[in-house]
Amino acid sequence: MTATTDGSGGPPRAGSAAAELRTTREPLAPAPHDLDEIAARAAERAAEHLLARQDAEGWWKGDLETNVTMDAEDLLLRQFLGVRDEATTEASARFVRGQQRDDGTWASFYGGPGELSTTVEAYVALRLAGDRPDDPHMQRAASWIRGQGGIAASRVFTRIWLALFGWWKWDDLPELPPELIFLPKWFPLNIYAFGCWARQTIVPLSVVSALRPVRPAPFALDELHTDPDDPSPPAPLAPATTWDGLFQRADRALRLYRRAAPRRLRRTAMNSAARWIVERQENDGCWGGIQPPAVYSVIALHLLGYDLGHPVMREGLASLDRFAVWREQDGRPVRMIEACQSPVWDTCLATVALADAGVPADHPALVKAADWMLGEQVVRPGDWSVRRPQLGSGGWAFEFHNDNYPDTDDTAEVVLALRRVDHPEPARLDAAVARGVRWNLGMQSRNGAWGAFDADNTSTLPNKLPFCDFGEVIDPPSADVTAHVVEMLAHEGMADHPRTRRGIQWLLSEQEPNGAWFGRWGVNYLYGTGSVVPALVAAGMPTAHPAIRRAVGWLRSVQNDDGGWGEDLRSYRERGAVGRGTSTASQTAWALLALLAAGEKDGTAARRGIAWLASAQRPDGTWDEPEFTGTGFPWDFSINYHLYRHVFPLTALGRYVHGEPVVGAAARRGR
């Protein structure tokens, strides 16, 4: 199905003015004695809004907004395959144009700085849509690109897209041999040393890199080079004693190997890669439930002879259409591409929010949500079993269809959500929870913590490859994921389990000197701290513990003057931005979840935060939040989860009004 708009009034505003880190909005000072009533009314409005948004099948899903590279690459794929049509192109181009900033650039997140590769890809997409190089908005973009070093300074993945059309030379890209598929699992750079998202991308790209296709370009891009006569000057060779120097020399060796590679071996490698790709296609035609690997998989298989009518290709292309969100803007259609869809994640968070807000545990909406989540449990092995071959399946994934890559984070939150529901088939629910708990326990890494998709995916070598110049390519444990697993285990009565205690010790060791925790999958220290403190308290840590008090002190110190909290994505790069930014609904809620868990309900900081949430609420019961508060890769790939602005504030309001959840449905049944 095509995703629908979340009713937030269209795409986020563009503009460079938001780049400044603001710390205040309208001041608010409700009378303290009225706050409980104000919070209760706000929670009631928010719950009504969320209940009205549930799909008939039982799930919730908000738009997942990233940046215009998704839209640009969708058009480039269609151009490459010869299936681009004018209606789709123009609707996509309207969205891309609408995200351009006054200086001609495109950013990778709301209010962020202009980003070179994003701007290059957006520019090319608009050229495909018929925008002329001498149009003022295109001139501004091209001038800025040249000022940043031109196409030559863009990331490898951008230049791969350009190489497909002859806008860049394949010889000027790092080698990625398909023989990589043959490396044994113990070898440091085998495909399972990469995070699952990188693995799914690298395998098909190794085929593309080997075949080096070039489809005739419909125009030149000389205006994006600093020197069109010499667009790719050679990079200086780093010292051999450095990792950069080592891999530069390894890349040179691979170039020599390319010329001498036995044809039969190369063909066998590409066929093995194709088999690996096809085996991982999901029932809905996609790969891993995320758009980038699906795009590259379609290209690789097409180059290997799969025509567009082949069932694998037909379903793959159909799956990409389901990433499109169509809206109306000024009476004309606008098309935005999601990088991924988040129904399992959104549904478990919505279920927790409604239950914590006082919706009865046997409410039909919660029962329907639980039924849907139970049907989404993954019951077959996936890539995670490479490192855990004896572990039985039982996790949950993020997306509608993704049996190959369930994750520990979704699994933990789904279990917490299911335990909020009084389900008419308790034995069925208990069995599913037991499988999920066992799977999560088995996915613990050696250091006692949890990564998202794989256990012990911690080698740093993949990050050093010349090919991997964008985002995270490994999946090491993180504090936010570990906290969610620990919280789930505690609610299952396993706070004293040895694996839980190891997770707690790891979390304590990861606390920053300022009292916060780093956020890997949400921005940033507010997300990490908002995840860890409730987990530690749920696991029995007293609120007087020094780690809890340090966290509370940090949250108080970074509260904005308006009573809310916010943190800009710059905090991943700039220490001065840590905990600082415009107040947002989701980040204010994360801070409140930590403060409420720490026993600070009656504290000034918590009361001011609740007052800000109530004051910022829209008449329809939700909140505005153009800021990006989620991450795919910290800094490099940011996400605006359009349901975050709703589920987390509702959870915080609910816990303020009704108190902290002590245990789930398991305890109510005397387990």
Catalytic residues: 409
| CA geometry: angle 235, 240, 241, nearest 5 deg | 130
Residue 46's SS3 state is: helix
**DSSP string covering 602-651, please?**
TSHHHHHHHHHHHHH--TTS-----S--EEEETTTEEEEETTHHHHHHHH
User: What are the helix and strand counts (H, E) for the chain?
Assistant: 23, 5
Nearest to 62 by CA among 329, 319, 350: 350
Tell me how crowded residue 108 is: count the other CB atoms within 10 A of its CB: 21
d(CA 215, CA 79) in angstroms, rounded, equals 9
Stated length of the chain: 671
Cα 184–chain centre separation: 29
Tell me how crowded residue 157 is: count the other CB atoms within 10 A of its CB: 21
Note the helical H segments in 261-342.
263-279, 291-303, 311-321
User: Among positive and negative, which fits the CA dihedral 530, 531, 537, 541?
Assistant: negative
Tokens of 327: 């809206």
Q: What is the largest CA-CA distance in the chain?
A: 80
d(CA 247, CA 185) in angstroms, rounded, equals 20
d(CA 85, CA 78) in angstroms, rounded, equals 8
Q: Which residues of 478-502 are buried (b: 16+ CB within 10 A; e: fewer)?
A: bbbbbbbbbbbbbbbebbebebbbb
Tell me how crowded residue 89 is: count the other CB atoms within 10 A of its CB: 20
In Å, what is the CA distance from 114 to each residue of 105, 120, 464, 580, 637? 5, 11, 25, 20, 13
Tokens of 605: 């900081």
Nearest to 626 by CA among 14, 7, 6: 14
d(CA 302, CA 300) in angstroms, rounded, equals 5
d(CA 35, CA 39) in angstroms, rounded, equals 6
Amino acid of residue 469: D
d(CA 263, CA 271) in angstroms, rounded, equals 12
Tokens of 296: 């590259």
Amino acid of residue 149: G
Phi, psi torsion values for 345, nearest 5 degrees: -60, -50
Q: Which residues of 534-573 are buried (b: 16+ CB within 10 A; e: fewer)?
A: bbbbbbebeeeeebbebbbebbbebbbebbbbbbbbbbbe
- 381 Cβ contact partners less than 8 Å away, ≥ 6 residues apart: 393
Nearest to 276 by CA among 383, 134, 127: 383
CA Rg value for the chain: 25
d(CA 606, CA 620) in angstroms, rounded, equals 24
